[in-house]
Copies of this chain bind each other. A is one copy, B any other.
Amino acid sequence: MSKKLIGSCIFGQSGGPTAVINASAYGVIRAALDAEEITHVYGAAHGIKGVLADKLYVMDEEDPKELELLLHTPSSELGSCRYKIADPEVDDTDYKRILEIFKKYDVRYFFYNGGNDSMDTCNKISRYMESVGYECRVMGVPKTIDNDLFGTDHCPGFASAAKYIATSCMEIHKDASVYDTPMISVVEIMGRHAGWLAASAALATEYGSGPDLIYLPETDFDMDKFIEDVKAVYERNQGNVMVAVSEGIHYADGSFVSEAKTSATDGFGHAQLGGLATLLANIIKERSGAKVRGIELSLLQRCGSHLASATDINEACGAGMEAVRQAVSGTTGKMVAFKRVMVDGKYTCEYELLPLTAVANYEKKVPVEWINETQNGLKHEFIDYVLPLIQGEPEIPREDSLPRYAHLKKVLAK
């Protein structure tokens, strides 16, 4: 046990929203408010941008009941950002400013909740503070629907998105098979480089109402083979075909199938994908003459808190609490990770700590051994992996049968 470090904390949210990132926020904020070492709890408006802009909300001023509603409030309640921080060796302007703010509010704890890019930010801040001798414990809390963070069994946000995707695919399959005329539906699912989300559509098939074909970015996409696959199912199923594709499917040369349709890029240089379902539907229509429908699950799949997994919420909140517990005990420069432990065949989840340096900027993909031989579906190993994660229905707080989200006062720190 290292010496007691007394001071304020800042918590920030970064990257794309999820159904449970606010559950992690609640975990951090609640544990920080309860920690005697932590004097004030600040929430950064729009992640690191709020720190740079001196825009911090005083969490101590919030109604505890409203804070608890964060467990069921989707998206990033404090605001998020996609801000690429420079390497401190190249340009330390931002770091000097962060240090200034840390000093202003006597910040000794920094918790950052996000994906790959956010762990990179976290790591750089941690290294900088160490290099200038400012004592501050920096902890990363994982988050990404993409489930692609290295070194953790899974990531908060993934399971709720997976459950949304599986349930929606079950409903789409029911809807799309209602007429006795041929109908091909193509469902586009998020996932730039890792196919975890599109793979989750396999749950719908496993439970009797899902896609016949699933394509992931873990393998190369071949348009001719795709058309053949669709035709084969078409023959077998009297014209009823449902296809799920990851937005990130690409040809053998690495170019995205959706590429022709997109040009804009986000702050991290990722291509912004979309419109793939329509594109594939049109190609199938041209070549087969069948009735087709392109469906994009869109951002609904990442913020569908009404369909969240209770397991995901609990783990996301727990990860936030664990980050605070570890930090006040002396840990720094680590991300809280999940370790799957099977006890008597039953899934349980344990926390472990990973060095931020080991996590940042690596991408974990769906193991190719879990993809079937014909590269258009998942093996049962994937179902075994994902099924425990989506378990449990949370008690959703409601007002007149609509979701009741947290209403925070967001009092600005001075």
Contact = CB atoms under 8 A, between A and B. Distances in A.
Contact of A306 (B46, B167, B178, B203): B167
Sort A-B residue pairs by CB-CB distance and give the 3 closest, nearest first: A75-B174, A175-B303, A171-B303
A180 B79 contact: yes
B398 A393 contact: yes
A380 interface: no
Contacts of A390: 400-402
A192 interface: no
A267 to B, nearest CB: 9
A117 interface: no
Number of copies: 2
Contacts of A239: none
Interface of A: 16-17, 45-46, 49, 73-76, 79-82, 163, 166-168, 170-172, 174-180, 203-204, 207-209, 275, 278, 293, 295-296, 298-300, 302-307, 309, 387, 390-393, 398-405, 407
A405 B74 CA distance: 27
A276 to B, nearest CB: 13
A13 to B, nearest CB: 8
B176 A299 contact: yes
Given A75-B175, A275-B278, A391-B401, 10 more contacts: A17-B178, A75-B177, A79-B179, A175-B303, A203-B402, A204-B402, A208-B405, A296-B298, A387-B400, A393-B398
Given A178-B75, A179-B79, A180-B45, A172 B303 contact: yes
B300 A295 contact: yes
A165 to B, nearest CB: 11
Contact of A180 (B46, B166, B293, B300): B46
Given A400-B391, A405-B170, A175 B306 contact: no
Nearest to A82: B179
Given A74-B171, A172-B299, A300-B168, A178 B401 contact: no
Contacts of A300: 168, 171-172, 295, 300
Given A299-B293, A398-B393, A403 B170 contact: yes
Contacts of A168: 300, 304
A392 B401 contact: yes
26 contacts: A16-B178, A45-B180, A46-B179, A46-B180, A73-B174, A75-B175, A76-B178, A79-B179, A80-B179, A163-B401, A170-B405, A172-B299, A172-B300, A172-B303, A175-B303, A203-B402, A204-B402, A207-B400, A207-B402, A207-B404, A208-B405, A293-B299, A295-B298, A295-B300, A390-B400, A392-B401
